[in-house]
């Protein structure tokens, strides 16, 4: 019996905001049953400081994450690919062993303008949208496991 957790790869273009928000949240709610990773089609090379701050507010620490290229996962068995922006969806290859693919686009909070507080408000809103979506996804995955 294969006891390895299935890998869920969350893709975005820059792998600096949305994909890390989603990775942090999904890992927090389903890291016991899923191997959660994120990557980008054109990695920015950094994690956005407001993404780190937005998750810290809900007790999730992604400060040690790094921006990764999706090519790092081409030789790994990826069960599910979830794209969180349109550009990544268009650029997304098929990964070895891939069974599922979902496209759940979210607004890019990195494009927020205004004061620091106004920018942070956008990050919080997008974080909360991602949290709702990925918490529901995790609940569905748990239900699937119970049925097996």
Which member of 9, 10, 11, 12 is catalytic? 12
CA pair distance 59, 117, nearest whole angstrom? 19
Q: Where are the beta strands (DSSP E) in 1-148?
A: 7-12, 35-40, 80-83, 100-103
Long-range contacts of 96-102 (CB under 8 A, 24+ apart): 102/137
Give catalytic status of residue 17 as yes or no: no
Give catalytic status of residue 92 as yes or no: yes
Which member of 9, 88, 92, 130 is catalytic? 92
Which member of 11, 50, 81, 85 is catalytic? 85
**Catalytically annotated residues:** 12, 85, 92
């Amino acid at each position: 019996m294969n006891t390895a957790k299935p890998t869920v790869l969350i893709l975005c273009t820059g792998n600096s905001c949305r994909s890390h928000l989603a990775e942090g949240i999904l890992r927090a709610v389903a890291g016991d049953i899923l191997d959660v990773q994120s990557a980008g089609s054109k990695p920015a090379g950094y994690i956005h400081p407001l993404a780190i701050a937005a998750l810290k507010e809900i007790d999730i620490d992604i400060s040690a994450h790094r921006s990764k290229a999706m090519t790092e996962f081409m030789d790994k068995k990826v069960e599910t690919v979830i794209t969180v922006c349109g550009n990544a969806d268009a650029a997304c290859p098929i990964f070895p062993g891939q069974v599922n693919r979902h496209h759940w686009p979210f607004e890019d909070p990195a494009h927020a303008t205004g004061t620091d507080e106004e920018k942070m408000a956008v990050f919080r809103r997008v974080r909360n949208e991602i949290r709702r979506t990925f918490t529901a996804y995790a609940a569905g995955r748990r239900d699937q496991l119970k049925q097996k």
